[in-house]
């Protein structure tokens, strides 16, 4: 999710703005911390008394799980904040295919430079799917999921 947030920030032209850079740096910090703690758990395994089975270090693996679980929602929040409103309410395909919506989209939702909305839409949809949100409510799945 950290890499997707960086990419969508570049697509939207906000990757140089200080508060976005701060959020991306924090996301990278949490991602690397979880990854390093997970590796450390495997590099220093333990074995139970009287058993020949090696297991990951309990302390490192639990610290990794805690870091991930306690920061997951903030990472999702930062990703959706960086991506803008489209990452929380992605319109359904039938909304994008209407002619009047296409005109409005071209006027208001094109990217910062030469990136079109049609080019950014697959990435935006991926940002919605990453946290495990379903598309059963089409464009408003994340919003409805948060309200439950």
Domain 2-147, architecture per CATH: Up-down Bundle (1.20)
What's the pLDDT score for residue 71?
A: 93
pLDDT for residue 21 is more than 90: yes
Average pLDDT over residues 60-88: 87
Average pLDDT over residues 15-44: 94
Q: What is the CA radius of gyration of the chain?
A: 20
What's the pLDDT score for residue 143?
A: 47
pTM, whole model, 2 decimals?
A: 0.71
Write the pLDDT tens digit of every residue in 79-136.
Answer: 888 887 767 666 666 766 666 666 666 555 555 555 566 666 677 777 767 665 444 4
pLDDT for residue 35 is more than 90: yes
Indicate the length of the chain as a whole number: 148
Q: To which H or E segment does residue 54 belong?
A: strand 54-55
Here the tokens at position 49 are 């008394």
């Amino acid at each position: 999710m950290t890499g997707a947030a960086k990419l969508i920030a570049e697509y939207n032209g906000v990757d140089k703005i200080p508060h976005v850079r701060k959020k991306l740096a924090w996301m990278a910090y949490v991602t690397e911390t979880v990854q390093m703690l997970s590796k450390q758990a495997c590099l220093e395994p333990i074995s139970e008394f009287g058993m020949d089975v090696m297991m990951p270090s309990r302390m490192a693996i639990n610290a990794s799980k805690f870091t991930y679980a306690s920061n997951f929602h903030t990472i999702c929040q930062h990703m959706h904040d960086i991506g803008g409103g489209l990452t929380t309410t992605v319109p359904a395909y039938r909304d994008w295919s209407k002619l009047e919506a296409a005109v409005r989209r071209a006027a208001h939702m094109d990217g910062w430079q030469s990136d079109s909305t049609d080019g950014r839409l697959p990435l935006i949809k991926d940002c919605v799917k990453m946290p495990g949100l379903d598309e059963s409510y089409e464009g408003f799945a994340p919003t409805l999921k948060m309200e439950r």
